[in-house]
Amino acid sequence: MAVPSIKRILQSFKRHLRAQGKHENTIRSYVNDVNVFLEWLSHTIGQSFSVQDISEADVRDFKSFLLTRNASNTSINRRLTALRQFFLFCVERKYIRGNPAAGVPALPSAPSSIKMLSRKEQLLLLRTVENMNRPLERVILLLLIHAGMRSSEICNLKVADLHMSSRDGKLFIRDERGQKYRFVTLSSRAQAAMRLYCKSRRIRMFSRRRDEPLLKQRNGNPLTQQVIDHIVKRVGKYAGIVDITPTMLRNTYAMQLLLSGEPPDKVALRLGTKSIAALKRVADQMKENERK
């Protein structure tokens, strides 16, 4: 099989990211970081090359080059992440056999500030969305702040992933490749929002529509992470909360669990992540401040 030029592969990579529902800012960042690497490599070797010619040594040399330019660890790790994703795409398309960036370790990251909502802001945000009479907006906000779901997970939900009874409600969560990996129990408030949304879309359990996306935009198009980000910011604006993001709502959910005494390993399990060390440090500090 003839391997396309790197330029054509990059164009396909962009379409692939959009199909996954990635935010446009994320797509631009990934493509820009890959281009920075390609331009550096072209200048370094002084000749044309194909994606098959790129080795792990090239990626390691690029990392060393960035270090000599005093790039921050965060910036270097971001570029390495973009390269891993790009080369993973190339492997999946069988353009190359192995991912040359997979074995290049990331640099230690400096502790970042964890942003979340105060209790007052949580109440204000939920009151605002419930007064808007927008079932989609309401259920999205509650899945973020009462279930700690990722935007990508919300976009990937199918009708078949929703399990509701008269007493409780659960969601079977899928990752971006469609693999199921955990259940999320819905709070009573999130259940009410989900029932209202299903009623507005006339969704019934065990219907023939079980492979359809559970949540759709009002125009019938599938949800994307960019749409969810826009919804969160719009509701936040109505509530008077600036610079709000879906990640802040997920952090808020996790912090409430930690402050209530939930063990960190169980909180990580609920969130579908390996570690919540940074959040735990913040929670411990908050508890210490309360004792003083």
Q: Kindly report, residue by residue over 268-283, the tens digit of the pLDDT.
A: 888 888 777 777 777 7
- Which of 1.10.443.10, 3.40.50.1000, 3.40.50.620, 3.90.320.10 would CATH assign to domain 119-291? 1.10.443.10
Fold agreement between 6-92 and 119-291: no
Least confident of 94-98, 102-106, 140-144, 287-291: 287-291
Please say if the pLDDT value at position 42 is more than 60. yes
Q: Running DSSP on this structure, what letter comes out for residue 107?
A: P
Name the token pair of 2: 């003839």
Q: Could you give the angle at the alpha carbon of 150 between the alpha carbons of 147 and 154, nearest 5°? A: 85
With a CB cutoff of 8 Å and minimum separation 6, the contacts of 254 are 148, 267, 270, 271, 276, 279
What is the rounded CA–CA span in Å between residue 267 and residue 185? Answer: 13
- Domain segments of the chain: what residues? 6-92, 119-291
Residue whose token pair is 């899928």: 174
User: Which pLDDT value is given to residue 182?
Assistant: 86
User: Which pLDDT value is given to residue 202?
Assistant: 82
Please say if the pLDDT value at position 14 is more than 70. yes
What is the rounded CA–CA span in Å between residue 53 and residue 9? Answer: 14
Q: What does pTM read for this prediction?
A: 0.66
CATH of domain 6-92: 1.10.150.130
The two most distant CA atoms of the chain are separated, in Å, by: 68
What is the rounded CA–CA span in Å between residue 214 and residue 48? Answer: 47
User: Which pLDDT value is given to residue 171?
Assistant: 94
Element (H, E) at 173: strand 169-174
Amino acid at 122: Q
Q: Give the mean pLDDT of 54-82.
A: 93
CB 181 within 8 A of CB 275: no
CB atoms within 10 A of CB 167: 7
**Average of per-residue pLDDT values in the chain:** 88
Q: Give the mean pLDDT of 221-245.
A: 93
Name the token pair of 93: 């398309």
CB atoms within 10 A of CB 15: 11
Least confident of 183-187, 244-248, 265-269: 265-269
Read off the pLDDT of residues 154-168 as tens digits, 9 standing for 90 and up: 998 999 899 988 888
Please say if the pLDDT value at position 290 is more than 80. no
